[in-house]
Structure 1
Amino acid sequence: MKNTILTSLFIIAFQQLSAQTATRRDSLQGGLRPERTCFDVQRYDLNIKINPDEKTIVGYNDIAFKVVENTSKIQLDLFENMQIDSIVFNAKKLNFIREEIAVFITFPDELKKGSDQKLRFYYSGKPIIAKRAPWDGGFVFTQDSKGKPWIGVAVQGTGASLWYPVKDSQSDEPDNGASIKIAVPNGLMNVSNGRFLGSEDLKNGYTRWDWEVKNPINTYDITANIADYAHIHDNHKGLDLDYYVLRENEEKARKHFEEVKPMMDCFQSKFGAYPFTDDGYKLVETPYLGMEHQSAVAYGNHYLQGYLGNDLSSTGVGLLFDFITIHESGHEWFGNSITSKDIADMWIHESFTQYSEIVFIECQFGYEKAMQYANGLKDNVSNDRPIIGQYGVNKEGSGDMYPKGALMLNTIRHIVNDDAKWWKMLLKYSETYRKKIIDTQTVVDFFNAESGTDLTPVFNQYLRYTNIPELEFRKEKNDIEFRWKADEPGFAMPVDITIKGKKVRLQPTSEWKKLAEKVKSMDNIKVLKNNFFIKS
């Protein structure tokens, strides 16, 4: 019997619900108007102080950018509750106008196409505190068991501009990486993305911790993790593995995180080399469940197997691995390396990443266990609204992008019907779009070309409609006929059945077709629904 409470937990937890009526603020955050497209961010250099007692931030962000089109005005972003202290360019303060989240900055002279520019954005204030991170965006200010501050931040979907000034769009990552310098009270450590460069006692009760990111990075991935951390260092086949955990959990973490090594072996064999080797790989213990912060993956699963000790598939297979370690690390390939241009296409992150769980299970425990887990996810699909959201207004689609999207990919694997070809395709996809920003059409075109099959109707049915395709049969005189019932016009997709135990591949369309084999009873036909996410 299915654990309905767990199913509800999954749907709530991974469905970052948003109203379908777009506001002006949504358009300002999600749109690509000329004030955004006229420049390309090259680098962020964030230098701030976080005061745990006052729950405040003060500091600046140096933003380097290349001018793409002549302009005298650009848009940056900072949440309305945060104070802009000044914006400085060539030693002069710039004029700006705030509208909702957007900060429209005017330059005294036109910036010329192709030129490299830099400004310094000073700001301060109390960032929004999350009510239930990471499902809503914001900071978490809490304490460890010794009463010391323990602070984290998660802002996916909500926006990085919740806590620092930024071009808050997935369409533009800093090409030359970033530095994150965060001062925290003495006795605490800040862990951010990339490599640790060193710390400096500022002689004012604070120590600044400096981190450097060499790679392009999603702005929502840039992170701060503040605690009295213990540091565990390891290396696996040349890849640095670093774990920052609460001191009381150090020994537990050493044992528990051994799972990372077979995970890396699996993912690198199936998806290609770890994308951020020069930034290293980290797991950082956080006071919230988890988040895919690039090269500093947030971990808060309490060293339990499954999802907080539960199995999202209700099959038992989900308890064979730590969901947060595997899922959030899978995002290093899908979401952090391959990024969707608009969050309406977040399925590009989440569908492939939930599928990476299935891949890991197959690597470790075999195909049958992987399929058992995959099919166990079916009851987590709500079919409430399309997986693809609204473009240009910072709106994601249904939380079905996780289980339904993964089941779609598993279906495509069985459409391809050649595992060697499938794994080659998946590897090539990951390597072709490595560290690139793409959209749904790019994904569809790739898999169409590599499979040699028009999969467009398949992608459209699963991503753009709520229903899953239904394989219908009927008996007409002495014949059995079959067809697809689907929303996508002209829907067609191969599917496998067995007739008296013999496997047969059908090529149904939206029109009735006759079954070539003679079958006396419908009871002799079994649809292989474990391989295809369909109704029948």
Structure 2
Amino acid sequence: MKKLIFTFILLGITLSSQSQILSNKEGNYTKADSLRGSLRPERTNFDVLKYDLHVKVDPEEKYISGVNSITLKVLKSAQRLQLDLFENMNVDSIVFQEKQLSYQREFNAVFIDFPLPLDGNKEIKVDFYYSGNPIVAKNAPWDGGFIFTEDENGKPWVSVAVQGTGASLWYPNLDHQSDEPEEAEIHVAAPNGLMNVSNGRFTGKKDLQNGYTEWSWKVTNPINNYNIILNIGDYVHLHDTYQDLDLDYYVLSYNKEKARAQFKEVSPMMDCFYEKFGAYPFVEDSYKLVETPYLGMEHQSAVGYGNGFKNGYLGKDLSRTGVGLKWDFIIIHESAHEWFGNSITAKDIADMWIHEAFTTYAESVYVECRWGKEDALTYLFGLRGSVMNNSAIIGDYGVNTEGSSDMYYKGANMLNTIRGVINDDEKWWALLKEYTENYKHQIIDTPTVINYFEKHTKASLTPIFNQYLNYARLPELQLKKKNNKVYARWETDVEDFAMPLILKVNGKEVRVAPTNQWKKMPFKNSLEKVEVDLKKYYILVTKA
């Protein structure tokens, strides 16, 4: 399992309680939500070490069957284990030491009983056999499920995307982000004439003599459950390298030349991300782009790509500035998740901003590497047009719920604002790289991130993170003139909010540090000549 980082400080309690106030579902949670989202002894007494998944896929019947051999380490003496498999799927049998175990199902949870208590600090293996017609996605990847479709030549094309919905939609596992296997093997039987591409390295194929060929892959790094993937299609393979990293591309046979041209963007992307975030975190498992019948997904070492070999987001610019059309959104965004989401993982999906805010910010980092800081700021500013500012970015803990979709664009602009607060780009880039390298292959939470940024900047960033993450409205800088003097204060939900920033007064930069109380500014001037660079700070400004 990835090392799970806990930060037991007052900040954690504060963030959690405040996010409960802004519950996205207003507390209307079910027992099924708790079974999926909470951590109880049936889950925490065990540590997943390995998944060895064998699955056969019948595209015509939209049917799958197989077994997941799960190696676990018993951490505390226990007699009951919770694994997860969607209730529409069949549990065929669960075997331990060649004997079938008894189990009970409740919603998507499967509670497995062992005949005797298991000793702590002991490794065991459970074989979980299952089958059924998995849920088919109506609009992947935004709703979870399988995709059974055909390519332009009428050949079957199959994949699955389950982030948020849960990997237990299609295979049994301990379906919570706080526990990841140290390694995984994925063996997928596909109809003859088709290829399966999964995570990690290809280890071989075998003709099963029944009209199916089994394609085997191995992952040697910790991996999120939702990242484990199968992709079945009429694929061809392209290979390249970047430094010591293998770049492997799998695309439908008729798209080979389009891919060869479009995927040239990977090398400059790696140049940028290696410099700003550190080396690719899964070198042992290679980097892959796999063409998918949906837009894209950050499947670790097998990134899903369905952007039509176009720049932008399906040929459109999400920022509405023109900057987003200079590069392929899916290549950059989904690949950035290898650092933010796949390597650094949020313990609870309520903290998914740890994935999405940093990844969206990484888009602007790539822009800055290629075209300069002004374009990067323009891009981030343009993304604000899609921010709602109507609920908290952080969701409710323990009930398997994400916060607001503002975790993307607002979250990225929050990080850019903090860059402005630090006001030293050399320190900012060093901080960002140290963060990604320090928490490589680890599972963390919001207090851990904030504590790290505060410790390494020696700045009071807690109130700033708190306002953006836990409240809907933006910090409002209020300016007023009285007796030929200028005063400023912050209007925020958070108490003791003090965010320094740079003002331009008559064209000259002045660094000031307003608080929640009216404070005289170190200059005399008319308010009309006091300016704020709103590309650098995501705030509201009012003058009275």
Same fold (TM over 0.5): yes
User: In structure 1, which of residues 379, 382, 387 is the aligned counterpart of residue 385 of structure 2?
Assistant: 379
Matched, 1:216 2:222: yes
Partner of 2:329: 323
Matched, 1:433 2:414: no
- 1:39-50 matches, within 5 Å, as 39-50=46-57
* Counterparts of 1:69 and 1:347, CA distance in 2: 32
Matched, 1:396 2:396: no
Query: Where in structure 1 are there 5+ consecutive unaligned residues?
Result: 1-16
Q: CA deviation at 1:383?
A: 0.8
* Counterparts of 2:140 and 2:27, CA distance in 1: 22
* Counterparts of 2:29 and 2:168, CA distance in 1: 19
* Counterparts of 1:505 and 1:381, CA distance in 2: 28
User: In structure 2, which of residues 529, 533, 542 is the aligned counterpart of residue 528 of structure 1?
Assistant: 533
Partner of 1:107: 114
Partner of 1:467: 473
Change (3 A) 1:81 1:533: same
* Counterparts of 1:111 and 1:498, CA distance in 2: 67
Residues 161-206 of structure 1 show CA distances to partners (whole Å, capped at 9, x for unaligned) of 000000000000002x100000010000110000000100000000
Matched, 1:162 2:152: no
Q: Which moved more, 1:330-339 or 1:372-381?
A: 372-381
Matched, 1:27 2:34: yes
* Counterparts of 2:58 and 2:158, CA distance in 1: 10
* Counterparts of 1:478 and 1:315, CA distance in 2: 39
User: What SS does the corresponding residue of 2:416 show, helix, strand or coil?
Assistant: helix
Q: CA deviation at 1:18?
A: 6.8
Residues 361-410 of structure 1 show CA distances to partners (whole Å, capped at 9, x for unaligned) of 00011111111111111111101210000000000000000000000000
Q: CA deviation at 1:20?
A: 5.3
Name the aligned partner's letter for residue 502 of structure 1: K
User: What SS does the corresponding residue of 1:420 show, helix, strand or coil?
Assistant: helix
- Under a length normalisation based on structure 1, what TM-score does the superposition of the two structures give? 0.96
CA contact (8 A) 1:44 1:63 kept: yes
CA contact (8 A) 1:18 1:396 kept: no
Number of residue pairs matched by the alignment:
518
Name the aligned partner's letter for residue 228 of structure 2: I
Matched, 1:126 2:113: no
Name the aligned partner's letter for residue 418 of structure 2: I
Partner of 2:77: 70
Name the aligned partner's letter for residue 531 of structure 2: K
Percent identity between the aligned chains? 59
Query: Where in structure 2 are there 5+ consecutive unaligned residues?
Result: 1-23
Change (3 A) 1:142 1:20: farther
* Counterparts of 1:220 and 1:59, CA distance in 2: 18
Partner of 1:84: 91
Partner of 1:270: 276
* Counterparts of 1:348 and 1:174, CA distance in 2: 20
* Counterparts of 1:281 and 1:493, CA distance in 2: 40
User: What SS does the corresponding residue of 1:351 show, helix, strand or coil?
Assistant: helix
Partner of 2:103: 96
Q: CA deviation at 1:305?
A: 0.5
Name the aligned partner's letter for residue 530 of structure 1: K
User: What SS does the corresponding residue of 1:304 show, helix, strand or coil?
Assistant: coil
* Counterparts of 1:20 and 1:46, CA distance in 2: 36
Matched, 1:185 2:191: yes
* Counterparts of 2:368 and 2:312, CA distance in 1: 16
* Counterparts of 2:137 and 2:512, CA distance in 1: 50
Partner of 2:244: 238
User: In structure 2, which of residues 479, 483, 486 is the aligned counterpart of residue 477 of structure 1?
Assistant: 483
Residues 434-453 of structure 1 show CA distances to partners (whole Å, capped at 9, x for unaligned) of 00000000000000011110
Partner of 1:253: 259
CA contact (8 A) 1:49 1:59 kept: yes
User: What SS does the corresponding residue of 1:105 show, helix, strand or coil?
Assistant: strand
* Counterparts of 1:455 and 1:48, CA distance in 2: 48
User: In structure 2, which of residues 340, 347, 356 is the aligned counterpart of residue 350 of structure 1?
Assistant: 356
Matched, 1:58 2:65: yes
Matched, 1:171 2:188: no
Name the aligned partner's letter for residue 475 of structure 1: K
Q: CA deviation at 1:492?
A: 1.1
* Counterparts of 2:118 and 2:471, CA distance in 1: 44
Q: Which moved more, 1:441-450 or 1:375-384?
A: 375-384
Matched, 1:367 2:395: no
* Counterparts of 2:288 and 2:59, CA distance in 1: 24
* Counterparts of 1:469 and 1:117, CA distance in 2: 52
User: What SS does the corresponding residue of 2:55 show, helix, strand or coil?
Assistant: strand
* Counterparts of 1:413 and 1:64, CA distance in 2: 43
Residues 125-166 of structure 1 show CA distances to partners (whole Å, capped at 9, x for unaligned) of 000000000000000110001100011100000000000000
Matched, 1:514 2:520: yes
Partner of 2:210: 204
Name the aligned partner's letter for residue 158 of structure 1: T
Partner of 1:296: 302
Name the aligned partner's letter for residue 468 of structure 1: L
Q: CA deviation at 1:478?
A: 2.2
User: What SS does the corresponding residue of 1:484 show, helix, strand or coil?
Assistant: strand
Partner of 1:493: 499
User: What SS does the corresponding residue of 1:184 show, helix, strand or coil?
Assistant: strand
Moved over 3 A (4+): 17-20
* Counterparts of 2:498 and 2:135, CA distance in 1: 48
Q: CA deviation at 1:21?
A: 1.8
Residues 215-245 of structure 1 show CA distances to partners (whole Å, capped at 9, x for unaligned) of 0000000001010101111112121000000
Name the aligned partner's letter for residue 342 of structure 1: D
CA contact (8 A) 1:20 1:395 kept: no
Q: CA deviation at 1:477?
A: 2.1
Q: CA deviation at 1:491?
A: 1.1
